Amino acid sequence: MMDAMREIRFDRFGGPEVLVLHTDAEVPVPGPGEVLVEVDHVGLNPLDYKIRDGSSGRAQDLALPAGTGREMAGVVRGAGPDLDEAELASRGLAPGTRVFGMRDLGDSRGVAAELIAISADDLAPIPGETAEEDLPRWAGLALAGLTAIATVEDTARIAPGSTVLVHGGSGGVGQLLIPMALEAGASRVWATGRAANAERLRELGALPIAYDGTDWRAEIHRATEGRGVDVVLDTHYHSTFVPSLDVVAEGGIVVPLPSLADLTPAHERGIEAHVPRIRPGRDRLDRLAQGVRSGRYPLEVSQILPLAEIGRAHELLEHGHTRGKLILDVRA
């Protein structure tokens, strides 16, 4: 085992420049219930920059210096004292197994490092054989996927026949919301995005609305003959949440994704609105893995950057137009 490793850390809140690649970080020792994972790729999420710049509620109690990143994929290399070989095997996590997962939101340690200690409950094995070029997509699945399940199943409660509007359908979460809404029985799913992403939205099964060339509210009014949609899943929020209240059908629901979304404008108009909360769980991770393997969740990786380019990755992420997932290659 290595005596030191590469890890991204930051010692103050700020811009992407606060993220520093250390080459002499201490190798973690897995505690009770934890597994040691050699990370190959890390998935990036807007939450990462909101923690880095201090704006996330999750940044409030964060002890600095801190690591960064929440979802990843890698290989099991060891385990804490209470997880013997039989226990690991019964969970499908024997040493050498390829795994993916996300740290529980209550665990503030990062994952952008060569080795991490992580709760065995926050991991699932990657089923079947995985080709080298397929590794990155597993790293971007857990957080986006658990969010999409929490949104569609726990919060929006999409029922057969529901009509749905997804804002930001080509983003990391959006690319999973569309197929999951259709699986839940939605009769029609419209998705907003730039015109450049219309074809991708159509491939995912949505009816694209190019917000940079069309008045999406007028489009929804026309398509629903003034009734509006039963459900709005709003991954963007900033310029879309308040106008969306004009296109919700009687008795409908709006689900903005950013955790700090202000729901007051919806409640003032008597419209139901909730922010989804991730519920971790092995059963959900296994379902996501099956969905990827079967081709039902074709979440796209648009860019892979080496670990050392984490600052540039955060800049791209903050730009707000990531298509599918942005991934860091920890080995590069």
Ligand X SMILES: NC(=O)c1ccc[n+]([C@@H]2O[C@H](COP(=O)([O-])OP(=O)(O)OC[C@H]3O[C@@H](n4cnc5c(N)ncnc54)[C@H](OP(=O)(O)O)[C@@H]3O)[C@@H](O)[C@H]2O)c1
* Interface contacts to ligand X, rule CB under 6 A: 45-47, 144, 147, 167-168, 170-174, 192-194, 197, 211, 235-236, 239-240, 257-259, 275-278, 320-322
Q: What are the residues whose beta carbons fall under 8 Å from the beta carbon of 89, sequence distance 6 or more?
A: none
Nearest to ligand X of 135, 177 (CB atom): 177
> At closest approach, how far in Å is the CB of 6 from ligand X?
25
Q: How many other β-carbons are positioned within 10 Å of the β-carbon of residue 85?
A: 10
Q: Nearest CA to 300 among 206, 156, 209, 203?
A: 203
> At closest approach, how far in Å is the CB of 174 from ligand X?
5
Distance CA 308, CA 129 (A): 28
Instruction: Report the SS3 class of residue 54.
Output: coil
Nearest to ligand X of 125, 280 (CB atom): 280
Distance CA 252, CA 280 (A): 27
Ramachandran assignment for 250, one of left (phi > 0), alpha (psi -120 to 50 degrees), beta (any other): beta
> At closest approach, how far in Å is the CB of 25 from ligand X?
27
243: phi then psi, degrees, rounded to nearest 5: -60, -30
Nearest to ligand X of 9, 50 (CB atom): 50
Nearest to ligand X of 239, 294 (CB atom): 239
> At closest approach, how far in Å is the CB of 19 from ligand X?
17
Tokens 């971007």, located at residue:
140
Nearest to ligand X of 312, 321 (CB atom): 321
165: phi then psi, degrees, rounded to nearest 5: -120, 125
Give the residue closest to ligand X by C-beta.
Answer: 171
Nearest to ligand X of 118, 165 (CB atom): 165
> At closest approach, how far in Å is the CB of 314 from ligand X?
11
Distance CA 189, CA 183 (A): 11
Distance CA 111, CA 99 (A): 13
**CB of 100 within 8 A of CB of 111?**
no
What is the end-to-end Cα distance of the chain in Å, rounded?
Answer: 19
Distance CA 83, CA 174 (A): 36
Nearest to ligand X of 100, 211 (CB atom): 211
**CB of 43 within 8 A of CB of 135?**
no
> At closest approach, how far in Å is the CB of 277 from ligand X?
6
Nearest to ligand X of 97, 322 (CB atom): 322
> At closest approach, how far in Å is the CB of 47 from ligand X?
5
> At closest approach, how far in Å is the CB of 323 from ligand X?
6
> At closest approach, how far in Å is the CB of 145 from ligand X?
10
Nearest to ligand X of 98, 325 (CB atom): 325
CB-count exposure of residue 232 (10 Å: 0-12, 13-18, 19+): buried
Omega of the bond prior to 65 within 30 degrees of 0, cis? yes
